[in-house]
A and B are shown apart, each in its own frame.
Chain A
Amino acid sequence: MKGYVFAIDAAIAVIIAAAVIAVSYSYSLSSFPSGMEWVSAGRIASDAVAVMHYNGTLQSLNEEDIESALNSILPENLYMSMRLDIYKSNLDFLNSMQINQDMQGNHKKGRWFFMVFEGSEVQKFAMLEYKVGFR
């Protein structure tokens, strides 16, 4: 049995070294998010809100219209929820509106402010807060 202790010692060392190399290899090849996909998701969410503002969908303050427009605009891999806090022209709080179920988990947030006019008169203000993330 003389010398076996060295052989076991060597075997353990080899196993540890091989394991370290294998783990570092697989770790290096695993894909890390570059961060750009979150930047892109944030931009698309901001685009969606801007477009709905520019074509008047948001100003309708119609929950179904906004939800349907939002879901048709968004790419399939993204999910977005919105909360609108609506104020009268004298800044008294009027009501809130939730578009899509409030997003849980990892998300990026943004805000948009807009006014609703009747003729040239401001009727309402709305503060929109949105959350966007991946499905």
Chain B
Amino acid sequence: MNPKDKLKGQIISLDFIVGVIIFLVLFGMLLTTFASISDYSAYNEQRREMEMATSAILEIFAKTQGYPLNWEESPSNATSIGLASSDRILDNRKLNAFLSMDYNTARNKIGGAYDFQFRLANNGSSFGQEPSGSMVVYSSRIVLHGNSAEKMEIRIWRHS
């Protein structure tokens, strides 16, 4: 047998092997890309959900009196916590009642899904825990406190 005959057809299998390797590499890259996109979408979705939550919490704090309207007299019976006496004007009694609440009770009253830190930037009052975790979402509103503007801030994160 001519030794050259043994090599007949080898180029086809080499071509095939190279093709399969390239295909597998590209397919692997594709799978990694889809996995990353999927993770990132989930991250974005969660972040958006948390942004909506901070926005809703501050909207209720800044614009409503809460429910019942005199919830500050019995904070544990409150079904909704509002800190305003009227549109964007803070009520000191409601604010003090909120700041004096038990943290877990307050967390449950504002939704319960997240840990939070509430802060009045100019006044320096703060309530809640120190932020932790990889995703902490922040939001702020401006309200009238006494006769001056006050920045009301909230940070939330998912409790572990």
Interface residue ranges, A against B (CB under 8 Å): 3, 6, 10, 14, 17-18, 21, 24-25, 28-29, 32, 34, 36, 39-40, 43-44, 47-48, 50-52, 54-55, 69, 72-73, 75
Contact = CB atoms under 8 A, between A and B. Distances in A.
A48 B149 contact: yes
B144 A51 contact: yes
Given A29-B40, A47-B142, A50-B88, A14 B33 contact: no
B44 interface: yes
Interface string B135-160: 00001111110011101000000000
Question: What secondary structure prevails in chain B residues at the interface with A?
Answer: helix
Nearest to A75: B140
B47 interface: yes
Range class of the B interface residue count = 20 to 34
B151 A75 contact: yes
Contact of B88 (A34, A51, A72): A51
Contacts of A24: 33, 37
Contact of A10 (B22, B32, B62, B143): B22
A55 B142 CA distance: 13
